[in-house]
């Protein structure tokens, strides 16, 4: 057994399961809650606004995978290179790739890296990225998902030398409410509360909870309006979320776009046009063009109105790591 396991107690080492393959179905996902709390059995981490990334080293070159198994290595070659230089045993680790703007992680700032398809282009963007690693699923032939989170983090800390762009995700113990208020005061998106005794499960769980300072989530693009005045590309995006098999209309977003994005996204929307609305609700907008509901947008907003629409929405970027049909309305306790 590799020396990295020395950080574990004997009973924890007994929980390790020998496994030759590094099976990965989906990452563990947190549930949104508005019931904030402090608890000595929980830890609290900063919620980062970036792209979820599973890093895999199985003896072949290191791969970076999105939450839906897309190979995203070409977008972040410096992260792959840093992991490859570690000399670590085989591993499967979970984390978030982020870019910062004024000291705050910014999904918008990451956009210039997320959608490139060439390593040299990725390096030349000038957008500096970091890989914040917060969990580990597999090490040197062993599945470690069944040992407690606090012990997995001890194992993770010893697994790598955390040199840029790699970062070990620090956590606070016990005092979640104070950390939440601190996060909001700093302009962060929020924090993630995690049961320190929990196993890693490859689904959404209430053992991980989101304490959000701001409203932000994914929406499906179901159409767009024609541009007005001197604007090009499109006017606003028509947004929705799935409730079972119905795409429910959530409103439109017309801010957060620069000229380049208006042109490139406008061209993509044109190629996806269809004759019928994909929404189950009536959409009362002028100059509407419907599109196949395949694109997913990240949107910030102030609140939901009493009519179930977004108030003051702002486009943050396109997501590539979540299938459109998985997009639902996030609400506390769901």
What positions carry a catalytic annotation? 47
CA distance 99 to 51: 10
Q: Distance of CA 36 to CAs 85, 250, 319, Å?
A: 40, 27, 28
CA distance 141 to 90: 7
Residues in the chain: 334
59: left (phi over 0), alpha (psi -120 to 50) or beta: left
- For 93-123, the DSSP string reads EEEEEEEEETTEE-HHHHHHHHT---HHHHH
Would you call 176 helix, strand, or coil by DSSP? helix
Angle at 29 between CA 186 and CA 107, to 5 degrees: 45
**Token code pair at residue 283:** 């959409």
Would you call 241 helix, strand, or coil by DSSP? strand
CA distance 304 to 302: 7
Instruction: Name, in order, each residue with C-beta under 8 angstroms of 87's C-beta and a sequence gap of 6 or more.
Output: none
Instruction: Name, in order, each residue with C-beta under 8 angstroms of 73's C-beta and a sequence gap of 6 or more.
Output: 62, 63, 64, 80
Cβ atoms of residues 234 and 269 within 8 Å: yes
């Amino acid at each position: 057994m590799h020396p990295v396991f020395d950080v574990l107690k004997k009973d924890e080492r007994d929980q390790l399961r020998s496994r030759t393959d590094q099976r990965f179905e989906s990452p563990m996902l947190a549930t949104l809650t508005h019931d904030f709390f402090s608890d000595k059995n929980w830890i609290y981490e900063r919620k980062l606004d970036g792209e979820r990334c599973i890093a895999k080293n199985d003896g072949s070159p290191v791969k970076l995978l999105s939450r839906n198994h897309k190979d995203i290595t070409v977008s972040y070659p410096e992260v792959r290179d840093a992991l490859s230089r570690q000399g670590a045993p085989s591993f499967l680790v979970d984390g978030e790739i982020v870019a910062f703007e004024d000291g705050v992680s910014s999904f918008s700032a990451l956009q210039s890296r997320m959608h490139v398809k060439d390593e040299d282009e990725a390096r030349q963007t000038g957008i500096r990225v970091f890989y914040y690693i917060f969990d580990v699923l597999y090490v040197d032939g062993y599945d470690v998902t069944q040992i407690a989170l606090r012990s997995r983090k001890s194992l993770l800390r010893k697994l790598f030398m955390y040199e840029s762009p790699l970062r070990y995700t620090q956590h606070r113990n016990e005092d979640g409410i104070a950390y939440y208020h601190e996060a909001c005061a700093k302009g962060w998106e929020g924090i993630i509360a995690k049961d320190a005794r929990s196993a890693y499960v490859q689904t959404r769980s209430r053992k991980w909870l989101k304490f959000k300072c701001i409203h932000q989530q994914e929406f499906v693009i179901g159409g767009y309006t024609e541009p007005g005045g001197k604007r090009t590309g499109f006017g606003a995006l028509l947004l929705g979320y799935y409730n079972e098999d119905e795409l429910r209309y959530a409103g439109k977003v017309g801010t957060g776009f620069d000229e380049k994005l208006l042109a490139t996204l406008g061209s993509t929307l044109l190629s996806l046009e269809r004759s019928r609305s994909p929404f189950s609700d009536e959409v009362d907008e002028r100059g509407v063009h419907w599109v196949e509901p395949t694109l997913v947008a990240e949107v910030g907003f102030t609140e939901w109105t009493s009519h179930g629409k977004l108030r003051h929405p702002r486009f943050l970027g396109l997501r590539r790591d979540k299938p459109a049909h998985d997009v639902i309305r996030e609400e506390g306790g769901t």
